[in-house]
Amino acid sequence: MEWQQFEYFQTLARMQHVTHAAEALSISQPALSRSIARFEDEIGVPLFERQGRSIRLNKYGHIFLKHVDNMMKEFHEGKQEIKDLLDPEQGEVSLGFLHTLSTSHIPDLLASFRACHPKINFRLGQGPSHNLIDQMQSGEFDLCLIASMEIKSPIVWRQLWKEELFVIVPKAHKYSNRKNITLEEISDEAFISLKEGFSLRVTIEQAFKEAGITPKITFEGEEADTVAGLVAAGLGISILPNLKGTDQSKITKIPIKSPYCQRTIGIAWVEGRYLSPATQKFKQFILDHSYEE
């Protein structure tokens, strides 16, 4: 069965006249008749009632036309969607990123990019690095902005910038007026952390390990904002990046003097997977505009 046969069937079903349909399709009447006859043979049932050169759909034809219309609609919409994606100024970029980047970095990046490319749209998603990697491998995201972690082929990761990490304490905490602090000084404090597996937690655990400290974790959260909220409520302290755009009226961030703590943010993609021109353009924009915190 050929694609043209579906087009011929749909046109004839709409016009219900062999001559007119053949003219609209720019083929001869006999050629159209032969094509429809083969089409009916392959379907296994007549689809039309013939009355001279006029022709009408029978009950089977009406049923089948609904499915052909849906199929043709999906086909043409798919062609248009691909056309839009291949237009570097009208495509869509699917981007995954860490929750902690959502209040400042992502809005700033998208605003800067769209100032030059206003017709490119974005489909966004947030999550921890390990989940974003899984989603990108399954095809949900084209690109991801994630922290440094163990990367395996076919994932490619390129460093973009580094972020300083701070000790976060409630405003009323005894250390809230400190200009800097060491991890040793907070070793006995109740500690609020992200859940296991999160890249930020891995980074912080490594810093504690290097300092010979085992933190006393009392609460775990899935988002940095949640952790900051628990700190603000006086339930413990934590270590987080600078949460720009988040309410910090009830918390204080203290630079860590020793050991110096930071995390590295980069861009990841699947090696060898097709990226639309719009996605390639955004990827290069990020690589060209990477910066240090």
- Which residue has 């590295």 as its token pair? 264
Q: Is 127 helix (H, G, I), strand (E, B) or coil?
A: coil
Q: Which of 130, 66, 132 is nearest to 96 (CA)?
A: 132
Measured in residues, the chain has a length of: 293
Question: Cα separation of 169 and 171, whole Å?
Answer: 6
Q: Which residue has the higher pLDDT, 174 or 55?
A: 174
Region 51-62 average pLDDT: 85
User: The tokens of 61 are what?
Assistant: 């034809």
Question: Cα separation of 237 and 67, whole Å?
Answer: 61
Mean per-residue pLDDT of the chain: 91
Region 14-36 average pLDDT: 92
Q: Which of 104, 179, 165, 94 is nearest to 136 (CA)?
A: 94
The backbone torsions φ and ψ at residue 68, rounded to the nearest 5 degrees and listed phi first, read -65, -40
| pTM of the full structure | 0.70
pLDDT at site 189: 97
Region 85-97 average pLDDT: 86
Region 159-171 average pLDDT: 95
pLDDT at site 82: 81
pLDDT at site 150: 83
Nearby residues of 264 by Cβ (< 8 Å), 6 or more positions away: 147, 148, 159, 161, 162, 163
Nearby residues of 130 by Cβ (< 8 Å), 6 or more positions away: 149, 197, 198, 199
